[in-house]
Amino acid sequence: MTSSGLTLQDFYGAWELYSMPALTGAVVGLVLGVLGVYIVLRRMVFLAASLAQAASLGVALTFFLGTVLTVAVTAPDGLGGVTTELHPAGWLPSPTVGAMLLTFLATVLVAGRRVGASTWRDAALGAVFLVGAAGTLALGTRIVEELHDIDTLLFGSAVAVVPEDFTLVLELFLTVLAVHVLAWRGFTAASFDYAGARVRGIPVRALELALFATLAVTISVGTRIIGALPVFALSVLPAVAAARLARNLPVALAGAGLLGVVAGFYGYVLAFLLDLPVGASQALVAAAIAGLAELARAVPTLFVVVVRTQAFDAREEAAFARLSPALLVAQGAALVAALYLLLLPALAGVAPGLASPDLALAAGVVALAVALGGILATARLRRLAIALGLVVAAAWVALAMALDGDVALVRPLLLAGGAFAVATSLREARLPPVSRRS
């Protein structure tokens, strides 16, 4: 794979052309990242793939019916005669509506029962995925003139988004996000404490159906706009990364949304710079984020297993109490540096003054300084495993700073991974010690 020779300056020089597809990827990634937390934690990862295939079949079926159910339309030909053309029947739904109808049907099939849900849903998801994929490919052979659209549906190869689609995504997805922000406690209760929520009088069945409805809407419209492959990736991988790093559900929801934004936007930028298919690029960036999250989580225990039952005497507990606020501030600084580095490509277009290589390296210096301070602090607390983890994280950041690469793309991503590793190590260091039993 070779670079196309394009730069971020070229990308933002044509921002009017690329802004809508790039921002569409960011908005879709934001909402699918949030919803993906429920998919991942409820162990229904295959749901996103199956519903995306159902949406693809809905679009393909709409195209196919448009070639079969036609009406003859006559119009003057400009030469004194008339011409007759065949057009799809006016009552046929649009491809987006077709995607939503098939996705809702698949959702009802999958979520229509709760007794014996595990076995039933696995079988139903498999059937929906196979029928959707096979049906889309089969209908694609009958609508040759729409073959490009079928390819876009399956792999997300579109590089442009029309204003009408961008407006639809913005209004619909942000509405879904608002619903989840306002009702996240109810969705959480319905998803993870069904019996307890029923005892408390919470309308869990209605909330669960609402959750599945919002999944159906976002996946169907997202598949129509950016394709099934990136929709599946953005529904799962940012949520996996956030769930591995977050300490509670609200943080996981917010983190997954943010990582989804990075994957959707950064994936489009990467596709532009390296001349890659957009959908594949977004999926690969999401996979890289999940991999970095797993690596960052493993850093504190990379060489030594942390023994959390280690006994601390009163003096050591007092030292921990003094250092804990400083560790909290240091963790926040590392996270801010990491998020800045991840959002650097977007800042290059919105606020170029905030996206200079000098500031990128300064963020790396902050992460490195935090790591060095953390090494001393955790060594003082006798948490040698955490100190070793921070040594590894500091070496990661230093190596990224020393790499000779594309500062606008490669180095920020590597530095962000190192900064997340630093923050994760500090989070482990902030865990309260176990007091010595009398």
Render pLDDT for 383-393 as a digit per residue (tens, 0 to 9): 777 787 788 88
**What is the value of pTM for the model shown?**
0.75
Let me know if 178 is exposed, middle or buried by CB neighbors in 10 A (0-12, 13-18, 19+): exposed
CA atoms within 13 A on the CB side of 60: 30
Report in angstroms the alpha-carbon separations of 59 from 179, 261, 293, 380. 26, 25, 35, 61
Question: Looking at residue 145, what is its pLDDT?
Answer: 53
Cα angle 162, 23, 239 (rounded to 5 degrees) comes to 125
Place of tokens 């073959």: 147
Question: Looking at residue 331, what is its pLDDT?
Answer: 83
Question: Looking at residue 253, what is its pLDDT?
Answer: 92
d(CA 121, CA 113): 9
Give, as one character, the DSSP assignment of residue 92.
S
Cβ-Cβ contacts under 8 Å for 214 (sequence gap 6 or more)? 35, 176, 179, 180
d(CA 227, CA 241): 22
- Percentage of the chain beyond pLDDT 90 is 12
CA atoms within 13 A on the CB side of 357: 11
The two structure tokens encoding residue 246 = 């977050």
Render pLDDT for 364-376 as a digit per residue (tens, 0 to 9): 888 888 888 888 8
Helix (H, G, I), strand (E, B) or coil at 202: coil
67-76, 180-189, 380-389: which has the minimum mean pLDDT? 67-76
| Segment 44-52 mean pLDDT | 84
**Alpha helices (H) in 343-383, listed in sequence order:** 344-350, 357-380
Report in angstroms the alpha-carbon separations of 327 from 321, 332, 381, 422, 426. 10, 9, 12, 11, 6
Cβ-Cβ contacts under 8 Å for 143 (sequence gap 6 or more)? 60, 63, 64, 67, 150
DSSP annotation string for 299-337: GGGSSS---TT-EE-HHHHHHHHHHHHHHHHHHHHHHHH
| Count of C-beta atoms within a 10 Å radius of residue 45 | 17
Question: Looking at residue 308, what is its pLDDT?
Answer: 41
Question: Looking at residue 178, what is its pLDDT?
Answer: 93
Q: Name the helix (H) or strand (E) containing 273.
A: helix 249-274
| Segment 413-431 mean pLDDT | 78
* CB-CB contact of 393 with 425 (8 Å): yes
33-37, 234-238, 336-340, 425-429: which has the minimum mean pLDDT? 425-429
* Long-range pairs, 3-10, Cβ under 8 A, ≥24: 3/273, 3/274, 3/275, 4/272, 4/273, 4/274, 4/275, 6/272, 6/273, 6/275, 7/273, 7/408, 8/269, 8/273, 8/345, 8/348, 8/408, 8/409, 10/272
The two structure tokens encoding residue 26 = 């960011």
Let me know if 334 is exposed, middle or buried by CB neighbors in 10 A (0-12, 13-18, 19+): buried
Q: Return mean pLDDT, the chain.
A: 78
Render pLDDT for 158-179 as a digit per residue (tens, 0 to 9): 667 888 888 999 999 999 999 9
The alpha carbon of 18 is separated from its chain's Cα centroid by a whole number of angstroms, namely 20
d(CA 213, CA 207): 10
